[in-house]
């Protein structure tokens, strides 16, 4: 017996048919909405409330850091996520490139030398209730009071690096002030230890030992000889080289040193304890910090990074023009092109000297 076919007759049947049509259209709209929401959920932790969009035909989603907190990040491909490998820069032995992990706050944090790394290191010690936070040699004791990504299995580390439930954060800094800060701190302020520790390494890599001893406090020599010869040194290696290329799309919180205190507050308010729901900002960020970060007996009333420790502060930004020349500025731009060209960093334009346009006229950029 075949299927019955109902043929509408008259106006009454016609209106019923139109009603049926509307129901079908309504059901289709609901179905399409569900498919769309499901697709978005697969590509992020939540549906962006702000303007996600298309930027140069590339799917993007709003970032949560970098000064105004509205940078765009290329959307990672959740269906073809990478996996941690033993040879990954962020996983293999080498404490300077392996990120900190805080499982309670589901956070993976990448330290960057000369971008408040010492302060961030102390913050995470303190968040773990480790007494090391206000002691000396904190960089050498990271495995005592902190978890590192390499402490976890490949499967666990991969989950931390790809799950939308985890925050993977990094604070970056424009190479021009960052490298000057490294020079003033390591080559000038710690002159004797530089000669003792760095000049022999410079010689082993093909440099002239005596020239290093004689000229290491000359910024031109440092920038054009020390930096390219010892390019893997943690204090002045490029930020981009610290993370495997495949992982950059998965770092979902990129903030900038130019807006350090605001970005720090914004970031710490965005990560919450999986135990009691308290943000890292409310836990220890909004107060209890002073000018001397090592004075545990006299905690200050300032917020984290509102004030900088005077012993560590080199005030590099105000001295840029005193040390740079047009040639040295160009040298930095070339040597650190991977940082300047990284689409995730979005550095503000920082041109120190006038350049000539096509007509030979000077322009101050």
pLDDT tens for the 365 residues of the chain, in order: 443 333 333 333 333 444 444 444 444 444 444 433 343 343 333 323 333 332 333 333 334 444 434 544 556 788 899 999 999 999 986 668 999 999 999 999 999 999 988 889 989 999 998 866 666 666 566 667 799 999 999 999 999 999 999 999 999 999 999 999 999 999 999 999 999 999 999 999 999 999 999 999 999 999 999 999 999 999 999 999 999 999 999 999 999 888 888 889 999 999 999 999 999 999 999 988 877 666 677 777 889 888 654 444 455 556 899 999 999 999 999 999 999 998 888 788 888 887 655 555 555 54
Residue 131: its pLDDT value, please?
67
Within 13 A of 179's CA, how many CA atoms are on the CB side?
28
pLDDT at residue number 253: 92
Query: In terms of DSSP H, where are the helices of 163-291?
Result: 175-182, 191-193, 199-204, 209-215, 219-221, 227-229, 260-270, 280
Q: Where are the alpha helices (DSSP H) in 246-319?
A: 260-270, 280
**266: its two tokens:** 């914004």
The closest of 88, 99, 81, 203 to 148, measured between CA atoms, is 99
Q: Would you state the pLDDT for residue 169? A: 95
Helix (H) or strand (E) holding 96: none
CA dist 164 and 103 (Å) reads 14
| Contact (CB, 8 A) for 260 and 307 | no
Rounded distance between C-alpha atoms, residue 320 and residue 343, angstroms = 24
Residue 304 near residue 123, CB atoms below 8 Å: yes
Per-residue tokens: 199? 């000049």
Rounded Cα distance between 149 and 86, Å, is: 12
User: Hey, is 152 helix, strand or coil?
Assistant: coil
Number of other CB atoms surrounding residue 364 within 10 Å: 8
Q: Given this model, what pLDDT does residue 262 score?
A: 86
| 259-266 CB contacts, 8 Å cutoff, 24+ apart | 259/66, 259/67, 259/68, 260/116, 260/171, 260/305, 261/303, 261/305, 261/306, 262/67, 263/65, 263/66, 263/67, 263/69, 263/171, 264/171, 264/304, 264/305, 265/303, 265/304, 266/64, 266/65, 266/69
Q: Which residues, other chains included, contact 187 with Cβ-Cβ below 8 Å and sequence gap of 6+?
A: 194, 198, 216, 217, 222, 226
pLDDT of residue 140: 60
Q: What is the pTM of this model?
A: 0.75
CA dihedral 131, 135, 137, 141 (to 10 degrees): -10
């Amino acid at each position: 017996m075949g299927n019955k076919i109902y043929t509408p007759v008259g106006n009454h049947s016609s209106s019923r048919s139109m009603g049926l049509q509307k129901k079908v259209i309504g059901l289709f709209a609901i179905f399409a909405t569900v498919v769309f929401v499901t697709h978005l959920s697969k590509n992020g932790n939540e549906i962006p409330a702000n303007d996600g969009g298309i930027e140069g035909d590339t799917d993007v989603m709003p970032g949560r850091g970098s000064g105004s907190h509205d940078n765009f990040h290329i959307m990672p491909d959740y269906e073809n996520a990478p996996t941690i490998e033993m040879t990954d820069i962020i996983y293999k032995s080498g404490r300077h490139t392996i990120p900190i992990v805080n499982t309670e706050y589901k956070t993976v944090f990448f330290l960057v030398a000369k971008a408040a790394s010492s302060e961030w290191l102390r913050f995470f010690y303190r968040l773990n209730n480790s007494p090391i936070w206000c002691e000396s040699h904190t960089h050498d004791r990271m495995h005592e009071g902190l978890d590192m990504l390499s402490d976890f299995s490949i499967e666990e580390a991969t989950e931390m690096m790809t799950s939308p439930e985890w925050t993977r954060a990094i604070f970056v800094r424009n190479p021009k002030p960052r490298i000057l800060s490294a020079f003033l701190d390591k080559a000038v302020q710690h002159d004797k230890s530089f000669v003792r520790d760095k000049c022999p390494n410079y010689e082993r890599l093909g440099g002239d030992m005596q020239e290093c001893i004689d000229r290491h406090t000359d910024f031109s020599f440092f920038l054009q000889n020390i930096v390219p010869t010892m390019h893997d040194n943690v204090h002045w290696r490029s930020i981009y080289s610290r993370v495997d290329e495949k992982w950059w799309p998965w770092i979902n919180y990129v903030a900038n040193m130019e807006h350090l205190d605001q970005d720090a507050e914004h970031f710490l308010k965005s990560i919450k304890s999986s135990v009691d729901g308290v943000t890292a900002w409310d836990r220890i960020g909004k107060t209890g910090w002073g000018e001397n970060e090592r004075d545990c007996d006299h905690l200050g009333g300032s917020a984290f990074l509102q004030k900088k420790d005077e012993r560590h502060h080199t005030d590099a930004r105000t001295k840029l023009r005193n040390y740079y020349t047009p040639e040295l500025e160009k040298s930095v731009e070339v040597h650190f092109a991977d940082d300047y060209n990284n689409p995730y960093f979005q550095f503000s334009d920082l041109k120190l000297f006038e350049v000539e346009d096509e007509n030979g006229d000077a322009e101050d950029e």
